[in-house]
Amino acid sequence: MLNQGIGSWPARRARKTPDRTALVHEDRTWTYRELHQRVLRLAHALRALGVERGHRIAYLGPNHPAFLETLFAAGALGAVFVPLNIRLAAPELAYGLSDSGSTVLVHAPEQADAARAAADRAGIGHRVALDGPGDGALGYEELLTAGGTDPLDETVAPEDPCMIMYTSGTTGRPKGAVLSHANITWNSVNVLVDTDLAADEVTLVVAPLFHTAGLNMTCLPTLLKGGRVVLLGAFDAERVLETIEDLHVTHLFAVPTMYDAMAALPRWATTDLSSLRTVSCGGAPVPTRTMDTYLTRGLAFSQGYGMTEASPGVLFLDKAQAAAKAGSAGVPHFFTDTRVVLPDGRDAEPGHRGEILVHGPNVMTGYWGRPADTEAALTDGHWLRTGDVARIDADGFAYIVDRVKDMFVSGGENVYPAEVEDVLLTHPAVSECAVIGIPDRTWGEVGRAVVVLKPGAVADEPDILGHLRGRLAKYKIPKSVVIADTLPRTASGKIIKPVVRDRYASAPTGHRPHP
């Protein structure tokens, strides 16, 4: 084939395993032959709308087969796919559409109002609605019906751009990481090598596809291998357990809060989880209590660390090493390399902290339309600066300590909030927490813990701070506690620290409900 990108994957799979189930969504299934035919029709339909090589095609909606069909159809044409976060408001969506220069927006019915407002504001040429034509939108299924089925094999090189995936944008405007077809392919190869995905894999994808972990760490590697992908539109702990049992799910990726929500259900102890071969986690370190809860059901976590700019896999900790290397993010993926460097650029010695840098065929080509940001992010044009602080042990295992920008200095000592948060989570009443630095006349900065209590639990500031004494050095212990109802999170489950700072840095201590 002339197409060496991921847009050729459905055709390649269809010629190898045409009758094997590729996708499951709600009560429907799609074989690899059916997926290929639908992608082919959509590609012809998009071409008829004027989409050409290099054009950008945006998608807005929860997990759905149309997300993947649009991604593959864009790749079949040499166009660039732009997934959008469904949690964004219309002006934020319009920014992504305008910044990427998208010409077509495909959207789900749940996002119709935001899609229409954003498309109008960004001047999108064509809006395509999954639920049919109307209100200025073309109908998705109608386009497929009218699309041709003639063979389509455009020349697409591995280094050509595949997608623009926007970072979370918790500080400043989001930046679009340009991921090439090679980036996505090598990341998938890394996953296949390190997690032993099998051809009979049944992968449950409940993390949002518009984020890199849900798409690139679970969904696409499974499709590359020829396994079955089960798509859920949104996370519901009860439904996840039900799906695992009913469809004999073998592979699940989620973030710690999702795993905790499942384990908190009454049916947790009785749900048949025997089909699960791999439970993997990312987005945040797995708390010890969560690991212990799953070990009682015979399930050990595979953990990882990554970022959008690395497609996203950087480090991986196999389940066999999860207990011996508890707290570690693992070693670099097979075809990826890392360094931990001091501020002067020298490599840090084992046990010493520094910024983690990443190099490999999965590292982005750059930020869309931002050459200065690209130059700042890619040291020597190759090594990606992550902005994360890590240390490496004597065996080469990396421990992510915190974000460079989240660290604060108290009395001349560096305080890494993630370390404090891990201990806070061992308090029996604490469900979630975030530690931030706030100004202090004596020490420069001191810690403040923002805590969410478990339902029905009771705890106050002296009790929570008392729990830390003897477990942490005195300078690491926060000087105040705010008890909140919720913590702000991204769609991938990460706590948004800048919002926590804005909301709680100057708030009185005690209980503070969500404003």
At which of 124, 157, 190 does a domain end?
A: 157
At which of 132, 157, 182 does a domain end?
A: 157
Query: DSSP string spanning 260-317?
Result: HHHHTSGGGGTS--TT--EEEE-SSPPPHHHHHHHHTTT--EEEEEE-GGGSSEEEEE
Q: Tell me if 367 is assigned to some domain.
A: no
Q: Tell me if 116 is assigned to some domain.
A: yes
Q: Tell me if 269 is assigned to some domain.
A: no
Query: DSSP string spanning 469-503?
Result: BTTB-GGGS-SEEEEES---B-TTS-B-HHHHHHH
Q: What is the pLDDT of residue 366?
A: 97
CATH number of the CATH domain containing 73: 3.40.50.980
Q: Tell me if 217 is assigned to some domain.
A: no
Q: Tell me if 148 is assigned to some domain.
A: yes
Contacts of 490 (CB under 8 A, 6+ apart): 87, 168, 170, 496
At which of 157, 187, 203 does a domain end?
A: 157
Q: Tell me if 207 is assigned to some domain.
A: no
Q: What is the pLDDT of residue 168?
A: 60
Contact 281, 301 (CB under 8 A): yes
Q: What is the token pair recorded at 291? A: 């690991």
* Distance from chain centroid for Cα 327: 20
Q: Coil, strand or helix: which one is 69?
A: helix
Regarding beta strands 56-60 and 102-107, do their DSSP bridges make them parallel or antiparallel, or are they unpaired? parallel
Q: What is the pLDDT of residue 512?
A: 54
Q: What angle do CA 334, 336, 340 make, to 5 degrees?
A: 120
Q: What is the pLDDT of residue 171?
A: 45
Query: Where do runs of H (alpha helix) occur along 296-415?
Result: 371-377
**Of the candidates 92, 81, 77, the residue with the CA atom closest to the CA atom of residue 180:** 81
Q: What is the CA radius of gyration of the chain?
A: 23
pLDDT in tens, the chain (515 residues): 999 999 999 999 999 999 999 999 999 999 999 999 999 999 999 999 999 999 999 999 999 999 999 999 999 999 999 999 898 888 889 999 999 999 999 999 999 999 999 999 999 999 999 999 999 999 999 999 999 999 999 999 999 999 999 986 444 578 999 999 999 999 999 999 999 899 999 999 999 999 899 999 999 999 999 999 999 999 999 999 999 999 999 999 998 888 999 999 999 999 999 999 999 998 667 778 888 999 999 999 999 999 999 999 999 999 899 888 988 999 999 999 999 999 899 999 999 999 999 999 999 999 999 999 999 999 888 899 998 889 999 999 999 887 767 778 787 677 878 778 988 999 999 999 999 999 887 787 899 999 999 999 999 999 999 999 988 878 899 999 999 999 998 766 778 888 998 899 887 766 555 44
Cis peptide before 133 (omega within 30 of 0): no
Cβ atoms within 10 Å of 344's Cβ, excluding its own? 6
In sequence order, what are the beta bridge partners of 449?
A: 435, 481
CATH number of the CATH domain containing 458: 3.30.300.30
Query: Where do runs of H (alpha helix) occur along 101-236?
Result: 112-122, 140-146, 181-195, 212, 220-225
**What is the span of the domain harbouring residue 51?**
6-157
Q: What is the token pair recorded at 203? A: 């992968």
Please indicate, yes or no, whether the overall pTM of this predicted structure exceeds 0.85: no
Q: Tell me if 234 is assigned to some domain.
A: no
Q: What is the pLDDT of residue 406?
A: 79
- In angstroms, the CA 402 to CA 417 distance is 7
**Of the candidates 396, 408, 391, 509, the residue with the CA atom closest to the CA atom of residue 460:** 509
Domains contained in the chain, number:
2
pLDDT tens across 233-274, in order? 999 999 999 999 999 999 999 988 889 999 999 999 999 999
Q: What is the pLDDT of residue 144?
A: 97
Contact 423, 451 (CB under 8 A): no
Q: What is the pLDDT of residue 444?
A: 79
Q: Tell me if 64 is assigned to some domain.
A: yes
Contact 293, 265 (CB under 8 A): no
Task: State in Å, rounded, how far the first CA of the chain is from the last one.
Answer: 56
Contact 348, 392 (CB under 8 A): yes
